[in-house]
């Protein structure tokens, strides 16, 4: 019983870390999930091995029966309540993605769905999915489906073979995690095959008899202290920029491993901290706490369209505890200890899954396809507002896992003069304007752009889908291409709000330094080097804001940094979008397609101003009148 109670304390620690991480109280609290995985691997494997050892076999039907009764009721309840709340409170344009999220969660595939949709768990904004925390449950449920079958397959050859098989899972999965984290961080974060080693680490504890290592209780006290220090260090040292899981996940996993292994011989302080009524109770309700906490944080942020403040976070935590208590008492416990037979349980599973999929489908099919701006009597198709420049569909603008831009020509294809558009998606957003200018001025246009990878070699650490090595490779390939082309004009631009590893210097310092490096690299290869400073950045996602708010409330737009190295030709587009104030809507078009990029309509509307600025800066040598645009 002591061991169970102390594990309840560890469960409490794990869920507390996750909650205070999402409240932004601690930078590395996401490691609470890793603690959960080690605990789950230990407990489930212990149950399986005990049954096989005592009965000679494992009753799979009963195993899955218990898992369904333990996990399904609370999970389904929170999913349904969250889905209906979002349907009522959030704008109709959100429903398409919300519906897809509900369906993915219902099918136990949310981890892979969020990976495909590039939802970066370590960098969640106020517009994050209210269902994203279900990814870890999907990993665990996928593990529960496979793990008993895996152990049974090797149990017939003896427990020594089972131990070797579990060790093999640990080594292979960890290897995949370490190798894939730098190259595909989001998929590695969410995938079962790169997380299984954490559950296998817990499973290995089952096969470690205490007296087999050392008889000394002092040894286990030291193990417990080291384990606690590792978890504490990880929770305070890891951040959203940490390349995780990879080798870094070894730290909280090893810490959890040592704490569980040394249960029964913890120092007195640890026993007082973890083996008490409060921690036992929090551990007992840790599952509903985990389920409820994220909707309580995410939905208010989505409704308010801003990060929630301290007092709002405290209210969200209080609501989480209240909802968890009610769920534990009236849903989780009654179902878990009910006498419902196996056939009824499986029927309930099928019915609940079907119902939730239908709910997701209904939500998905009620999303809006229009944005109406009442103040300007402007009604636009959402697809028109959010459409991307053709370089995205042509394959010339590259996303992740590509280091070379596509071979595409635009503008005046017969011209011997060349313009190159170079940079990230904030350079790509100008494509329509630059293409129009290229045609006017008699230049062919080559676009070299990549998402989240600018023309500048800024100090950005790996996070989400961003991979520094991949970005540097693309930048080097693009610069070599520019040197081969020897264009008359280079137009470069970059997002000015990257989270940089600033060290001792300011953000402007790094932008100026890397602009200077770009100039030096291309000096002698490009006749005119233009740097287009970043567009003003809205506080909110503009289409989403306009879909259910007044125009005035959406006009919160901030000026971006406009520093430019003195040898580059500087063009600042701020005045084209803002006079006394910045408006999200101009004349007959919406300026922004999201919370960052301008729309194609806005780029086209700014074509004349950009062209005039280029002429004033003597980028083009013109004789006679400027040909009219088409």
* Predicted confidence (pLDDT) per residue in 139-191, tens digit: 999 999 999 999 999 999 999 999 999 999 999 999 999 999 988 889 999 99
Average pLDDT over residues 288-305: 95
- Cα separations in angstroms, 240 against 27, 125, 174, 254: 7, 12, 21, 21
Selected from 3.40.50, 1.20.950, 1.10.3470, 3.30.200, the CATH number assigned to the domain covering 388-535+557-574 reads 3.40.50
Token pair recorded at residue 296: 């309580």
User: What is the rounded distance in angstroms from the CA atom of residue 119 to the CA atom of residue 471?
Assistant: 20
* Predicted confidence (pLDDT) per residue in 96-109, tens digit: 999 999 999 999 99
* Predicted confidence (pLDDT) per residue in 185-215, tens digit: 899 999 999 999 999 999 999 998 866 555 5
pLDDT at 375: 86
Which sign, positive or negative, has the C-alpha torsion 356, 360, 363, 366? Answer: negative
pTM, entire model? 0.86
User: Which residues of 468-536 form beta strands (DSSP E)?
Assistant: 489-493, 528-532
Segment among 33-37, 441-445, 540-544 with least mean pLDDT: 540-544
pLDDT at 126: 61
User: Taking the chain, what is the end-to-end CA distance rounded to the nearest angstrom?
Assistant: 80
Which residue is associated with the tokens 């053709």? 390
Average pLDDT over residues 575-587: 88
Q: Are 83 and 186 in contact (CB under 8 A)?
A: no
Name the segment(s) of the chain with CATH classification 3.40.50. 388-535+557-574
Residues sharing a CB contact under 8 Å with residue 569, sequence separation 6 or more, in sequence order: 528, 529, 530, 531, 617, 619
């Amino acid at each position: 019983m002591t061991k169970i109670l102390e594990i309840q304390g560890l469960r409490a620690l794990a869920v507390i870390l996750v909650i205070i991480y999402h409240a932004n109280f601690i930078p590395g609290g996401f490691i609470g999930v890793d603690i959960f995985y080690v605990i789950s691997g230990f407990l489930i494997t212990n149950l399986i091995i005990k049954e096989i050892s005592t009965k000679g076999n494992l009753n799979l039907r009963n195993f899955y029966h218990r898992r369904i009764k333990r996990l399904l009721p609370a999970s389904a309840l929170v999913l349904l309540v969250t889905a209906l709340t979002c349907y009522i409170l959030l704008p109709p344009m959100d429903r398409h993605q919300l519906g897809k999220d509900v369906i993915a969660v219902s099918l136990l595939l949310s981890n892979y769905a969020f990976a495909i949709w590039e939802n970066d768990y370590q960098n969640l904004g106020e517009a994050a999915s209210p269902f994203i925390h279900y990814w870890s449950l999907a990993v665990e449920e996928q593990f529960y489906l496979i793990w008993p079958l895996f152990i049974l397959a090797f149990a017939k050859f003896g427990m020594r073979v089972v131990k070797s098989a579990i060790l093999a899972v640990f080594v292979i999965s960890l290897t995949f995690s370490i190798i894939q984290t730098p190259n595909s961080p989001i998929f590695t974060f969410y995938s079962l095959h790169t997380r299984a080693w954490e559950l296998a680490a817990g499973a290995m504890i089952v096969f470690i008899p205490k007296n087999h290592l050392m008889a000394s209780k002092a040894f286990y006290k030291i193990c417990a202290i080291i384990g606690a220090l590792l978890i504490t260090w990880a929770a305070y040292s890891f951040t959203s920029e940490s390349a995780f899981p990879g080798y870094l996940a070894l730290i909280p996993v090893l810490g959890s491993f040592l704490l569980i292994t040394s249960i029964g011989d913890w120092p007195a302080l640890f026993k007082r901290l973890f083996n008490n009524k409060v921690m036992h109770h929090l551990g007992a309700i840790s599952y509903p706490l985990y389920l409820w906490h994220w909707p309580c944080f995410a939905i208010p942020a989505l409704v308010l369209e801003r990060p929630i403040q301290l007092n709002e976070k405290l209210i969200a935590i209080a609501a989480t505890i209240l909802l968890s208590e009610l769920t534990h008492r009236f849903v989780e416990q009654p179902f878990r200890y009910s006498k419902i037979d196996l056939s009824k349980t499986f029927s309930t599973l099928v019915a609940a899954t079907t119902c939730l999929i239908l709910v997701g489908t209904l939500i998905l099919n009620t999303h809006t396809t229009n944005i109406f701006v009442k103040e300007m009597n402007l009604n636009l198709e959402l697809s028109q507002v959010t459409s991307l420049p053709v370089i995205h569909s042509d394959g010339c603008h590259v996303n992740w896992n590509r280091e070379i831009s596509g071979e595409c020509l635009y503008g005046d294809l017969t011209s011997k003069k060349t313009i190159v558009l170079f940079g990230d998606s904030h350079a790509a957003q100008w494509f329509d304007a630059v293409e129009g200018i290229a045609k006017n001025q008699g230049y062919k246009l080559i676009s070299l752009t990549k998402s989240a990878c600018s023309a500048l070699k800024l100090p950005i650490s790996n996070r989400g889908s961003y991979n520094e090595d991949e970005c540097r490779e693309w930048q080097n390939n693009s610069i070599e291409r520019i040197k081969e082309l020897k264009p008359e004009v280079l137009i470069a631009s970059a997002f000015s709000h990257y989270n940089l590893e600033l060290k001792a210097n300011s953000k402007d310092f790094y932008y100026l330094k890397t602009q200077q490096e770009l100039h030096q690299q291309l000096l002698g290869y490009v006749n005119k080097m233009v740097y287009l400073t970043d567009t003003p950045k809205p506080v909110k996602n503009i289409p989403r804001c306009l879909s259910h708010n007044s125009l005035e409330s959406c006009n919160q737009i901030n000026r971006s940094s406009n520093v430019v190295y003195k040898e580059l030709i500087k063009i600042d587009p701020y005045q084209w979008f803002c006079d006394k104030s910045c408006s999200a809507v101009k004349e007959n078009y919406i300026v922004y397609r999201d919370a960052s990029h301008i729309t194609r309509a806005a780029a086209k509307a700014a074509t004349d101003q950009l062209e005039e600025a280029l002429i004033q800066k003597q980028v083009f040598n013109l004789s006679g009148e400027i040909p009219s645009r088409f």
